[in-house]
Amino acid sequence: MKRTAPVAIGAAAAIALTLSACGGGGEPEADATGPVTLTLAGWSLSTTPEFQVLADAFHEENPDVTVELKEYDATDYDTQMTADLAAGSAPDLYVLKNLKNFFTYQSGQQLLDVSDVASGLDPATGGLDTYEVDGATYAVPYRQDAWLLYYNKDLFEKAGVDEPDGSWTWDDYDQAAKDLKAGLDGGTYGTYQHVWQSVVQGFALAQTEGADMTSGDFGYLQPFYDRALDLQDAEAQVGFGTATTNELQYQAEFGTQKAAMMPMGSWYVATLLAQQESGDADEFEWGLAPAPQADASTAGTDATPVTFGDPTGIGINPAIDDAKVSAAKEFLAFAAGEGGAEKLAEIGITPALLSDAAVDAFFSIDGVPGDDLSRFAFSTHDVRPENPVDPGAATLSNILNDAHTAIMSGSSSVADGIAEAEKRAASEVG
């Protein structure tokens, strides 16, 4: 899953901002030797407040520990982090944006074993087990986004189409998109599918029984691409070519009411609220629904809908000064724990620990829809990883991204695009 900030900061150079961070348990042992300063990687600091919020809250509870942020480019984060780790200039703590590159960091011995931190976390913490390799844990998740369905209540009413009720399969979603297109003005689409491979492939992998990206068998993608192309051909969603050529931004497509629905990650809630406040998005009533399901067995509010989303974790640079390790682990415990969860939820971020207190904090935010379905969609789901923890994950992701572009642009049929991806997987990954 790709996660982008509303504004990408193009600076690769570090901008250190001394920030304070919400509290975890007792005082770090390092306090006994005097004040400690930790450095933490972040990106787009002016528009991505989660890093400062965690730093400020932790410092408030641990006044002898200061967390300074080191800024990286949002779109080139992993490349820059890999270079800094190799050069010995990486910060003490760094964020793992997704699982695709976790194996590279872990196998390259660029992450400290934090099994002791993980063992003390709530077992309900989303994504915790994904950072485990051979019985040891090398990072802890502080947020766990999940893909949901955003919908514009005003446009549904205008088109005379029934709103989602939590029971939708993809067939229901497809029909609603076509009905919305028919009932709205010519320039408004029923739904918007962003150009990322995730929007098709993430759901296909999560919701198809037996699907395994590492197997090299990608036949599970076929029905999901068939549906996406059908919506595109029916003009119920903007075409892939138009979206890529015009560099459409998903925030604007939904936020300025050019589409009545949009599957997107839960991180978009905070962005939509901020843009409605600033005027970059229109004022309209919106809601959240579970992602459409492959079949009725996981649909409905008496079931647990299946969706996808990689956790976002924090690990410790093994090159950290030994005197700082205790404080660094305390920060990890806080960020992934109850204290960090509530602070993140208060700013519209989906924490890895969806405790009742965190959910209440999230829905107390002004502008977040308070209906029962929105709360259910946010708090109840089976979130499966977009990317497997595997040596070939990054290569496979690149191969499948090429297939996605070929299929959605029409330069290849679905069958041919999948066959080419399988051929390349066998050759390049084995």
**What residue ranges in 253-401 does DSSP mark as E strands?**
261-265, 286-289, 306-308, 311-316, 382-384
Q: What is the pLDDT of residues 317-343, one digit of tens each?
A: 999 999 999 999 999 999 999 999 999
Count CB-CB contacts under 10 A for residue 197: 22
Residue 31 in this model has a pLDDT that exceeds 50: no
**Distance between CA atoms of residues 229 and 273, nearest Å:** 31
Q: Residue 37: beta bridge partners?
A: 66
Average pLDDT over residues 396-415: 97
Residue 283 in this model has a pLDDT that exceeds 50: yes
**Distance between CA atoms of residues 406 and 404, nearest Å:** 5
**Distance between CA atoms of residues 96 and 174, nearest Å:** 34
Burial class (CB in 10 A: 0-12, 13-18, 19+), 64: middle
Count CB-CB contacts under 10 A for residue 12: 14
Q: What is the mean pLDDT of the chain?
A: 91
**Distance between CA atoms of residues 303 and 317, nearest Å:** 41
- Of all residues in the chain, the percent with pLDDT exceeding 90 is 86
Q: What is the pLDDT of residues 42-71, one digit of tens each?
A: 998 988 889 999 999 999 999 999 999 999
**Distance between CA atoms of residues 5 and 275, nearest Å:** 12
Average pLDDT over residues 420-429: 97
What are the structural domains, with CATH classification, of the chain? Answer: 17-145+310-354 (3.40.190.10), 147-307+378-384 (3.40.190.10)
Q: In the structure encoding, which two tokens stand for residue 40, read together? A: 């933490």
Q: In the structure encoding, which two tokens stand for residue 366, read together? A: 């002004």
The closest alpha carbon to 215, from 385, 393, 382, 384, belongs to 393
**Distance between CA atoms of residues 39 and 270, nearest Å:** 25
- Of all residues in the chain, the percent with pLDDT exceeding 70 is 92
**Distance between CA atoms of residues 279 and 373, nearest Å:** 26
Residue 394: per-residue pLDDT: 87
Top-confidence residue, 374 or 187: 374
Q: What is the pLDDT of residues 139-150, one digit of tens each?
A: 999 999 999 999
Global model pTM greater than 0.75: yes
Average pLDDT over residues 346-374: 95
Residue 118 in this model has a pLDDT that exceeds 90: yes
Residue 33: per-residue pLDDT: 62
- Cα angle 140, 101, 125 (rounded to 5 degrees) comes to 25
